[in-house]
Amino acid sequence: MTRIQINGKAQSVSAPDETPLLWVLRDELGMTGTKFGCGMALCGACTIHLDGAPIRACVTPVSAVAGHAIATIESMEKDRVGQAVQQAWVELNVAQCGYCQAGQIMSAAALLKAAPKPSESQIDEAMSGNICRCGTYPRIRAAIKLASSRLAGVTK
Amino acid sequence: MTSTTQDLSRRTFLQGSLGGLVLSVSASGAVQAAEAKRYGAATMPGGTVEDPLVFVSIAPDGTVTLVAHRAEMGTGIRTTLPMVLADELEARWEQVKVTQAEANEARYGNQNVDGSRSIRHFLMPMRRVGAAARQMLESAAAARWGVPLPEVKAIQHQVLHLPSGRRLGYGELAAGAARLPVPQGASLKLKSPADFKYIGKGNVRMVDLEAIGKGQARFGMDAHLPGMVYAVVARPPVVGGKLRSVRSDKALQVSGVLKVVQIPGFTGAPGFQPLGGVAVVAKNTWAAMQGRAALEIEWDDGPNGSYESVSYRKTLEAAARAPAKASRSEGDALAAWAQAPATAQLSAQYYVPHLAHASMEPPVATVRVDAELCEIWTSVQNPQAALAGVAAALGFKSEQVKVNVLLLGGGFGRKSKPDYVVEAAILAKAMPGTPVKLVWTRDDDIQHDYLHTVSVEHLEAVLRPDGLPQSWLHRTAAPSIGSLFAPGGKGQLEFETGMSALNMPFSIPHVRIEGAEVEAHARIGWFRSVSNIPHVFAAQSFVAELAHRAGKDPKQFALELLGPPRKISPAALSDHWNYSESPELYPIDTGRMRDVIEAATRGARWGRKLPKGHGLGLAFAYSFLSYTATVVEVAVDAKGEVRVVAVDMAIDCGPQVNPERIRAQMEGGAIMGLSLALSSEITFENGRVKQSNFHDYEVLRHAASPRIIRTHLVNDNHAVPPGGVGEPPVPPVAPALCNAIFAATGKRIRELPVRSVV
């Protein structure tokens, strides 16, 4: 039994220590917002926040996250930055199939927390681990900039 | 064969192209022969259904619920078709809910989301359904008030009595309206396009947009049922391979593993049958994956065990050099070539490798089988084929199988082949009453895909003194999708050559189009835009090569080659398929092709002075009844690194039903086209796919994506029938890129992916 903290809530999970957090979230806890895409930290579909930093849940053993704060896409509605990112995503009609977008949003939110006004190369670096096969990259870039400007406006 | 309808649903499409008889398949699976010359939706299983009572329901509070009968894989169709209906219905979109149909083509009409057909086949049916429902509401109001029908008018969820200003909401009228006869034929009054409120406006967001951003949208991967168990399958690494032996004791010792189940391989042609193998069922996906890794399996590879990409390419190249059967011949291209001096000859060969679809959601299906019922939750492009395949595999009647259609995390053609749903059903049968979720890992997806074909395209032209060709030969050598359905099928079918090889529209006196016969050693499937990918890559690269030889600007040369605006019957090009549409309704219109070329080049400011190392490349295509042109701007640095600076994408798809989503498809098509041009390749060794995940099967990522993609929607026109949108953006992208690289560097790229330009 591992005790982990997800979206501000303490959870006990029974999965063996080495089980990737992704499958604990999806199969054991039924939190399906975090997606499976590759299983090797190559596509970013499973991106979550560990103490605010983006990590890939598909290669993170559940035992490694005990004692840390995990945030998933399901909590972004209540997160100031997450909400701004979600709003920008809707305004610019970013999604096509939408499967990768939870991971994209988690990477974008983590980027904007670390760099509220990211440069193009910071966007490249933060986002290039997230694949979108539908090809929504230009809109994602635009949505990150939109969210960034909105957040700057709010804090001023 | 374990199934009939599922294979036939694609074959209908194929057979219809071969002249003679069209096979039509009713929902019950009965096959009927009918006279040829049916077109469009009438060639598809299930055809169309235009009954408002099937698609529209209105609650007393006015909430309008519309059925989306086609699956959503990212084009926005689950929004767009209900939006079309809502427009004619005069419904307020804020009061519309969309509900997803289960598989039932007898009830809803064809549900196979494939071939860029959804708008093409269902724009007018959905308009008529909406108009009929609107007129029924108007009639109900007129009857309620006892006033003449011309005095009432439906406006935004209410019917208004014009002389008195009285109003009744749709919710108040629904019960009465539902009892009225459905207006048909001449009594149906469609809106004038000038009165559209949603069609063509781009003012309706995708219904799932917010849920997607919150992680609440339910994809096939997200099916979650009480008591569910999970499975992964070890499949033969070679297509047609068989299980020789398996030891499963170690797998069964893995914590959480419940059961090991064998899945029989296919017999005859692969079709949509499972590849066979050994499944591990467990309490969660991870345990199933660990259990699979602990299986000790020996495979018998069978005859495809020697499939190897390097030598197969040589086979294709030899086939492309040798004379083959002509599917189109005008004048005498062979004699023209033989008699021409070398200075007037130009020939080139082009290579495009296998490609995997790699949708971000790998194939996945969840199935529960009880004694009398099989219920399925999955993401499939072709739900009826999944239903039929499962019924056949389980020995169930089709009424005993229920397919719930969840969102697809991408499809691109892969998920119209429901082999994975059949696998899941076989496993669920072994676990009676327990829902089984079968997950394909990314490795499974890359290594067991229905791959895009691999091809060598050979082109020859004899040039006139002005540089324009007087002779054109295109010989295509590629394993055919036909091999999926008929064992040993070698020659490309008309629907393959009919994708931009056979239907070459230029006015050239001597034309010869040939298809070589080569064997398939993998499952060949259709990948977004299908054979247009290699054919347009070759033909549009070759056109630019001809322009260069002629010393002419590529755009100017392209326009000269196209000639004056005119409508060409596909039949005159020996193309009797034409995407199963009527040659009268859908001629090839070179004027529309010129328009998209002008739009893309204008957008890119063709002819401007470019920075050092930059180049512009143009390509254009007619595919899925739409006209597209692409201009790519590249920058090539001293090390030969190619950076895509900007892409201009133009399309004329006839009426622009949801322009905002058309732009999204154009942007995405540009990215997918660049992915296959720059990054992606599947190769075989010892019959096995060498790549396994995104580290060695690469696709475009953020950093390499062009910052600028401009989209140009040309000629919004409801006077012509709709063309496709999902697939047409892809074909011109790769040749436009390579033409741009040539403009920048003088280096001609004739094989994909582009590795190096130094």
pTM: 0.95
pLDDT tens digits, B188-232: 999 999 999 999 999 999 999 999 999 999 999 999 999 999 999
Tokens of B691: 């790549």
What pLDDT is recorded for position A154?
60
> Can you list the residues of chain B whose pLDDT is less than 70?
1-36, 758
Confidence of residue A156 (pLDDT cuts 50, 70, 90): very low
Q: Check CB contact of A46 with chain B, cutoff 8 Å.
A: no
8 Å CB contact of A139 and B360: no
- Tell which residue, B57, B69, B66, B73, has the closest CA to residue B27: B69
Confidence of residue A147 (pLDDT cuts 50, 70, 90): very high
What pLDDT is recorded for position B36?
58
Q: Which of B284, B668, B693 sits opposite A134 (nearest CB)?
A: B668
Crossing angle for the helix pair B383-394 and B5-15, to the nearest 10 degrees: 130
pLDDT tens digits, B662-673: 999 999 999 999
Count CA atoms within 13 Å of residue B420 on its CB side.
32
For chain B, the domains span 39-212, 229-303+363-439, 309-356+450-745
8 Å CB contact of B230 and A27: yes
8 Å CB contact of A131 and B360: yes
Beta carbon pairs, A and B, within 8 Å: 187
Residues near A88 by beta carbon (within 8 Å), at least 6 away in sequence: A94, A143, A144, A146, A147, A150
8 Å CB contact of B410 and A99: yes
Tokens of B583: 């040659």
Q: Could you count the other beta carbons within 10 Å of the beta carbon of residue B53?
A: 12
pLDDT tens digits, B163-174: 999 999 999 999
Instruction: Work out the minimum CA distance from B357 to partner chain A, whole angstroms.
Output: 9
8 Å CB contact of A34 and B208: no
Q: How distant, in Å, are the alpha carbons of B55, B122, B501, B641 from that of B40?
A: 21, 10, 21, 45
Q: Which of A36, A124, A134 sits opposite B702 (nearest CB)?
A: A124
Tokens of B184: 């048909």
Chain B's closest residue to A122, CA to CA, is: B703
- In chain B, what residues touch A35 (CB-CB under 8 Å)? 219, 221, 360-361, 409
Total length of chain B: 758
Write phi, then psi, for A145 (nearest 5 degrees).
-65, -40
CA dist B447 and B697 (Å) reads 10
Is residue B627 within 8 A of residue B595, CB to CB? The reply is: yes
Tell me the CATH class for B229-303+363-439: alpha beta
Instruction: Work out the minimum CA distance from B725 to partner chain A, whole angstroms.
Output: 14
CA dist B690 and B674 (Å) reads 22
Tell me whether residue B491 is exposed, middle or buried, using C-beta atoms within 10 angstroms of its C-beta: 0 to 12, 13 to 18, 19 or more. middle
Whether the upstream peptide bond of residue B753 has omega within 30° of 0, thus cis, is yes
Strand extents, DSSP E, B242-295: 242-247, 257-263, 277-282
Q: Which of A15, A19, A43 sits opposite B694 (nearest CB)?
A: A43
User: Measured on CA atoms in the order B472, B477, B483, B487, is the torsion positive or negative?
Assistant: positive
What pLDDT is recorded for position B758?
66
What pLDDT is recorded for position B489?
80
Q: Which of A35, A89, A139 sits opposite B221 (nearest CB)?
A: A35
Q: How far is CA B620 from the centre of its chain?
A: 19
Domain A2-74 matching CATH 3.40.47.10: the answer reads: no
CA dist B279 and B511 (Å) reads 52
User: Measured on CA atoms in the order B203, B204, B206, B210, is the torsion positive or negative?
Assistant: positive
pLDDT tens digits, B608-621: 999 999 999 999 99
What pLDDT is recorded for position B35?
54
pLDDT, chain A, mean? 96
Top residue of A132, A133, A139, A141 to mutate, by most chain B CBs within 10 Å, is A133
8 Å CB contact of A125 and B412: no
Query: Are B229-303+363-439 and B309-356+450-745 the same fold in CATH?
Result: yes
Q: Which of B358, B668, B709 sits opposite A96 (nearest CB)?
A: B668
Q: Which of B74, B284, B708 sits opposite A27 (nearest CB)?
A: B284
8 Å CB contact of A101 and B213: yes
- Tell which residue, B46, B139, B55, B146, has the closest CA to residue B97: B55
Tell me the CATH class for B39-212: alpha beta
- In chain A, what residues touch B213 (CB-CB under 8 Å)? 86, 89-90, 95, 101-102, 105
What pLDDT is recorded for position B1?
30
Instruction: Work out the minimum CA distance from A111 to partner chain B, whole angstroms.
Output: 14
Q: At A16, is the secondary structure helix, strand, or coil?
A: coil
For chain A, the domains span 2-74, 76-155
What pLDDT is recorded for position B128?
98
- In chain A, what residues touch B441 (CB-CB under 8 Å)? 39
Q: What is the CATH number of domain A76-155?
A: 1.10.150.120
User: Measured on CA atoms in the order B287, B290, B295, B299, is the torsion positive or negative?
Assistant: positive
8 Å CB contact of A38 and B442: yes
Query: Given the structure tokens 């917002």, which residue do they identify?
Result: A33
Top residue of B214, B224, B660 to mutate, by most chain A CBs within 10 Å, is B214
Q: At B125, is the secondary structure helix, strand, or coil?
A: helix
- Domain B309-356+450-745, second-level architecture: 2-Layer Sandwich (3.30)
